[in-house]
């Protein structure tokens, strides 16, 4: 969980750019590639698991989402890291990104994000160095400081000896990871002065570029840190909407030009769903709203079906919470969603939008991506409406169309 769509590359990459814009990686959005969108449009995928849908099916749906995103003209697609959630199959970003890279050829792919306190910085540097070697110039490394799960699962991920590090140690972890990516690793405690541990693949093996690093967040903490480090910042507007404005203001006020970024660059993740029929769109959005209601109530599970969401016996308080959630999702006809997103860009000054959609089935989600791309006249968007045919599992074995919708 960011008007040029550009992102900072690793050391050694140089490119002519307009003053005040970020250094750019290969494939950065330029001019007409935006269609009529005010900023680049990207996607965040959770590999959502709906009621009656297997995790295997949800992951295949995410592969199809990447294909639709690339064909429709979206700039990048990121995948999340969550653990122990029955409604989310995206628990290992690096593994999933490797598969998505093999099934796409142009779209940027990244983590939205890697929850760094769960991992050793060296491991992440090597995983994403490997991804960069497999898909040169297409990989982003988004970092978050939350565990992406509950306390018990976090302890199982990290081990009790590392559990106390957590978010408080995040700045050191980021610095260590960036040092590994840049080929300038820190000294090894207790070893001889010249002893170093290097990330491989990486600069020590002659790697030319490294994945650009983003900081993700839903509060002022990560916003201030991203600004101070001179890194691009992605804000989780989709579940912290009331904090978006203050966080982006703090990021810009805290920003210090760095070796990778000359000016602040912010992206906001926003929940949205476009469809031809407003009533059906609302039915679909209700499934995600009920899933979030249950999650916040300590009852996580698969995303319910539209019928289940309609028939749920909401209390007055639950109805209020669900309606509040619906108000934060930009949904309706493609033109209405486009207008809503444009208004969000105007009010926040975001440099990029990342669309995320939590609904029961992939059919409505993928069609929504394609319809929105058409509304914005993104390059290649015409003729990309997913009909569900042609989806194949690894090895070329035909599988069922995307689920639901």
Instruction: Count CB atoms within 10 A of the CB of residue 72.
Output: 27
Q: How many domains does the chain have?
A: 1
Assign residue 206 a region (left: φ > 0; alpha: ψ between -120 and 50; beta: otherwise).
left
CA 271-284-405 angle, to 5 degrees, is 115
* Residue at 20 is within a domain: no
The per-residue pLDDT for 163 is 52
Q: Which helix (H) or strand (E) holds 71?
A: helix 55-72
pLDDT of residue 106: 96
How much is the pLDDT for 273?
A: 98
Residues 159 and 398: their CA atoms lie apart, in Å, by 41
Q: Is residue 13 part of a domain?
A: no
pLDDT of residue 404: 62
| Residue 78 counted as domain residue | yes
Question: For residue 180, what is the domain's CATH number?
Answer: 3.20.20.30
pTM value > 0.75:
yes
Q: Is the residue at 12 inside a domain?
A: no
Instruction: Please report how the helices 334-348 and 244-254 are oriented relative to each other, as an axis angle in degrees rounded to 10.
Output: 40
Q: How many whole angstroms separate alpha carbon 37 and alpha carbon 31?
A: 10
User: How many beta carbons lie within 10 A of that of residue 169, not counting itself?
Assistant: 15
Q: What is the pLDDT of residue 33?
A: 67
User: Is residue 185 domain-resident?
Assistant: yes
Measure the CA–CA gap between 101 and 88, rounded to whole angstroms: 20
In a domain, 24, yes or no: no
| Residues of the chain predicted below pLDDT 70 | 1-33, 147-167, 382-405
Residue 276, domain extent: 38-149+165-375
In the structure encoding, which two tokens stand for residue 193, read together?
């002065």
């Amino acid at each position: 969980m960011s008007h040029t769509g550009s992102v900072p590359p690793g050391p050694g990459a140089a490119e002519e750019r307009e003053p005040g814009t970020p250094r750019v990686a290969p494939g950065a959005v330029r001019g007409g590639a935006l269609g009529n969108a005010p900023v680049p449009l990207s996607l965040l995928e959770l590999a959502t698991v709906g009621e009656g849908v297997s995790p295997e099916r949800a992951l295949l749906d995410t592969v199809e989402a990447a294909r639709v995103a690339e064909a429709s003209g979206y700039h990048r697609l990121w995948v999340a890291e969550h653990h122990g959630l029955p409604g989310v199959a995206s628990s290992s970003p690096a593994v999933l990104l490797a598969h998505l890279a093999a099934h796409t050829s142009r779209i940027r792919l990244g983590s939205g994000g890697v929850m760094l306190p769960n991992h050793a910085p060296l491991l992440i540097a090597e995983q994403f160095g490997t991804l960069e070697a497999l898909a040169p110039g297409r990989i982003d490394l988004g970092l978050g400081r939350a565990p992406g799960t509950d306390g018990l699962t976090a302890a199982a991920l990290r081990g009790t000896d590392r559990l106390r590090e957590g978010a408080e140690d995040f700045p050191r972890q980021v610095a260590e990871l960036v040092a590994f990516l840049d080929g300038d690793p820190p000294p090894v405690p207790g070893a001889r002065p010249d002893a170093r541990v290097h990330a491989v693949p990486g600069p020590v093996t002659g790697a030319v570029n490294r994945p650009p690093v983003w900081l993700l967040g839903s509060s002022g903490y990560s916003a201030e840190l991203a600004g101070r480090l001179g890194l691009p910042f992605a804000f989780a507007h989709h579940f912290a909407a009331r904090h978006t404005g203050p966080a982006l203001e703090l990021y810009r006020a805290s920003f210090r030009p760095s070796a990778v970024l000359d000016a602040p660059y912010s992206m906001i993740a926003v929940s949205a769903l476009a469809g031809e029929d407003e009533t059906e769109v609302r039915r679909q959005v209700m499934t995600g709203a009920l899933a979030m209601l249950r999650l916040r109530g300590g009852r996580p599970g698969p995303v319910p079906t539209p019928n289940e969401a309609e028939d749920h016996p909401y209390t007055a308080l639950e109805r209020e919470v669900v309606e509040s959630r619906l108000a934060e999702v930009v949904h309706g006809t493609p033109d209405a969603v486009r207008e809503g997103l444009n208004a969000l860009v105007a009010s926040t000054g975001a440099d990029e939008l990342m669309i995320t959609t939590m609904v029961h089935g992939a059919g409505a989600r993928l069609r929504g991506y394609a319809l929105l791309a058409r509304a914005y006249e993104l390059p290649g968007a015409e003729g990309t409406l997913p009909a569900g045919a042609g989806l194949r599992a690894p090895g070329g074995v035909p599988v069922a169309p995307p689920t639901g919708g």
